[in-house]
Amino acid sequence: MHILVLDGAGPDGRMGLVRSAADGRLVMLSDALECGRGGAQRLAGSLPAMLAAAGLQLSAIGLIATIVGPGSFTGLRATLALAHGLALGSGTSLVGVTVGEALRRTAGPRSLPLWCVTTARTGRVFLERDGLEPVGCMLQALPSQGPGPLLLAGNASDLVQPVLEHAGIASRTLGIDRPELSAIAGVAIDRAAGRLPPLAAQPFYVDPPEAKLPANGLRPAPA
């Protein structure tokens, strides 16, 4: 089976094509990275070239795996809109995956607790822990934790580690800033097969949007 992977949770937009072999191995066939502001919105334009590089047509895709959050408000909406459009047009199954699920799969087997921490607004991080709902918190107000040790994965690891150290909590960063595309595909395959609880392919926002309506609920009158 061929899996199309989409990830717009971070500052860039990423996508890739992964093949699931008969023995369960996942093989990367082609990928694309759109860097900088608006990268996730440009993924649709890069899709034909990525498919061509892998020698595939869209009809060959058997599963679409998309990161649902937490992460960039605009990036998530752009990649999820693309994922839903492709799934609707091709009849392909669509599965949602959280950033923490994919980071845990990227990290592999471990004996210590893992905190998946990714950047949010200034001074805040998203935190995903095993068996707990993701939360958004200020760096200086991380949840209470025993003396550790902890493992850290995600692009906020280097921000969180000194805060934990100051609080007397031992931790070690794994050097994993973002999940592997093949790990996202692996989680999606397990979810599609019923080995993981279902998760709708809808934006998974921890923090409310920054944009707010005026108190009276109306936009200012045009000039």
Query: Which H helix or E strand runs over 50?
Result: helix 43-54
CATH of the domain at 59: 3.30.420.40
Sheet holding 13-20, edge to edge: 26-34, 13-20, 2-7, 61-69, 93-98
Same structural domain, 17 and 47: yes
Within-domain flag for 80: yes
Number of structural domains, the chain? Answer: 2
pLDDT tens-digit readout, 62-76 = 999 999 999 888 899
Within-domain flag for 41: yes
Residue 206 pLDDT exceeds 90? no
Same structural domain, 92 and 124: no
Structure tokens at 74: 């605009």
Q: Which tops the pLDDT comparison, 186 or 223?
A: 186
Same structural domain, 89 and 123: no
Query: Which H helix or E strand runs over 161?
Result: helix 157-166
Same structural domain, 89 and 187: yes
Same structural domain, 116 and 186: no
Same structural domain, 62 and 88: yes
Its domain, for residue 127, covers 102-173
Same structural domain, 183 and 93: yes
Whole-model pTM over 0.85: yes
Same structural domain, 94 and 185: yes
Model confidence band, residue 23 (pLDDT cutoffs 50, 70, 90) = confident
Same structural domain, 131 and 77: no
Structure tokens at 175: 């050097």
Note the pLDDT of residue 148: 72
Same structural domain, 9 and 82: yes
